[in-house]
Amino acid sequence: MDMESMIEQVYKAIEFYNRYREPEAKAILLKIDDDKIYVVFRGSFCRTCGVNDWVEDFRYVLEDVGIDNELLEIMVGG
């Protein structure tokens, strides 16, 4: 997949994700750096026990739009 198509698919995934999960969780694209996608999640979801579920859900949405992916890191901020 070329970069332009990937960017288009990432935006499509974010739009779909936010349609069904906002305001509890909202995905915001931070940047795309080569083959890495950086996404910030904001919302009222439980940061200590539920953040992994919200991020994993986004992984599945990316797969649904044709982007194979692997979760590298989850960073939880204050």
Q: Is residue 69 in a domain?
A: no
pLDDT mean over 40-66 = 85
pLDDT mean over 40-60 = 82
Q: Is residue 76 in a domain?
A: no
Q: Is residue 48 in a domain?
A: yes
Q: What are phi and psi of 61, to 5 degrees?
A: -65, -40
Range of 36's domain? 3-64
Question: Average per-residue pLDDT in the chain?
Answer: 89
Per-residue model confidence (pLDDT) at position 21: 92
d(CA 25, CA 17): 9
Q: Is residue 78 in a domain?
A: no
- pTM over 0.85? The answer is yes
* DSSP state, residue 47: T
How many domains does the chain fold into? 1
The H or E element spanning position 67 is none
- Is residue 10 within 8 Å of residue 32, measured between CB atoms? yes
Per-residue model confidence (pLDDT) at position 10: 97
37 has pLDDT over 90: yes
